[in-house]
Amino acid sequence: MAWLVVTPALPKTSSGFIDRFIAAAESFRIPTGLLFNKSDLFKDDLAKVQDEFISIYEPLGYPCIKVSTVSLDGIEAIKKAFQAKVNLLAGHSGVGKSSLINILDPTLQLKTGIISKQHLTGKHTTTFAEMHSLGNQTYLIDTPGIREFVNIDFKPSEISHYFVEFRERMNQCHFNNCLHENEKKCAIKLAVENGEINPERYYNYLSMVRNEDIFR
Ligand SMILES: Nc1nc2c(ncn2[C@@H]2O[C@H](COP(=O)(O)OP(=O)(O)O)[C@@H](O)[C@H]2O)c(=O)[nH]1
Ligand SMILES: [Mg+2]
Ligand SMILES: [Zn+2]
């Protein structure tokens, strides 16, 4: 299972990044979940950003867990979620992937990084992917941070297959080769207008179809 470790700040993870990661995992049929780390830090606006993400991704079937390696909130929940699986932890540098693994197995003492004050981003302290066994057929894979996400070479026509809520509606589009951009009688655009598809997800879908790599 691929877990994307997400933080709304220090460093910021954008929805564009989350949606590209999920689409990539979907294309390989890898189950995906989101870990919202550093929940001890976020109050008010940033806590709201976290909760908004959860309200988007949880109904789509992606498990979302709020966690903190400082307050230890959510640690029991992730232990349970990781059980008897091979779990890959991905995400930007500095979101706390290595810290999470250290909490789950304190004997590992993986190197963790300091967030640079200047850039508010993490430094790369993990330089290669490594897998650790926790016993009971449970494995954790630490990965170096992803600074940017190079788009996998998706054909525009395949991208909607990797957005679950598009996949289940797209056979209702008038044109069977609909890219859900400006086509007539498009079930996806209708669902966005009706509030059934999140507009941010739609925006990110379009930016992937257009092969843009600027995230917001
Ligand atoms: N406040 C807070 N800081 C954290 C948390 N988890 C990790 N950090 C800090 O974030 C920085 C980056 O952590 P690290 O595990 O190296 O991130 P990685 O690059 O994703 O492996 C370190 O200074 C950690 O101490 C958390 O839950 N809360
Ligand atoms: Mg690391
Ligand atoms: Zn359509």
CB 132 within 8 A of CB 22: no
Mutational test site, ligand 1, from 43, 99, 101, 121, max ligand atoms within 8 Å of CB: 99
User: Helix axis angle, 97-104 relative to 75-82, nearest 10°?
Assistant: 80
H or E element: which one contains 13? none
Distance 96 CA to ligand 1 centre (A): 4
Indicate whether residue 201 lines ligand 1 (CB < 6 A): no
Residue 214 above 90 pLDDT? no
d(CA 124, CA 28) in angstroms, rounded, equals 26
Share of the chain above pLDDT 90, in %: 79
Residue 173 above 70 pLDDT? yes
Distance 142 CA to ligand 2 centre (A): 7
User: What is the number of the ligand 1 atom nearest to the C-alpha of 92?
Assistant: 20
Closest ligand to Cα 99: 1
Residue nearest to atom 26 of ligand 1 (CA): 38
Tell me the residue ranges of DSSP E strands in 81-208.
Answer: 86-90, 130-135, 138-142
- Domain 156-209 fold is Ribonucleotide Reductase Protein R1; domain 1 (1.10.40)
pLDDT band, very low/low/confident/very high, at 32 (cuts 50, 70, 90) = very high
User: What is the number of the ligand 1 atom nearest to the C-alpha of 71?
Assistant: 27
d(CA 98, CA 160) in angstroms, rounded, equals 33
The pLDDT of residue 74 = 98
Indicate whether residue 11 lines ligand 1 (CB < 6 A): no
Contacts of 8 (CB under 8 A, 6+ apart): 42, 46, 49, 50, 53
Indicate whether residue 101 lines ligand 1 (CB < 6 A): no
Indicate whether residue 27 lines ligand 1 (CB < 6 A): no
Indicate whether residue 97 lines ligand 1 (CB < 6 A): yes
Amino acid letter for position 10: L
Question: Which residues partner with 135 through β-bridges?
Answer: 138
Output the CATH code of domain 2-142.
Answer: 3.40.50.300
pLDDT band, very low/low/confident/very high, at 148 (cuts 50, 70, 90) = low
Strand ranges across the sheet with 32-36: 64-66, 32-36, 2-6, 86-90, 138-142, 130-135
**Ion ligand 2 — residues with CB < 5 Å:** 97-98, 126
Most confident of 27-41, 121-135, 146-160: 27-41
Residue 150 above 70 pLDDT? no
Residue 117 above 70 pLDDT? no
pLDDT band, very low/low/confident/very high, at 106 (cuts 50, 70, 90) = confident
- The whole-number average pLDDT for the span 49-66 is 97
CB 186 within 8 A of CB 197: no
Q: Domain residues of the chain, as ranges?
A: 2-142, 156-209
The pLDDT of residue 110 = 80
Distance 38 CA to ligand 2 centre (A): 14
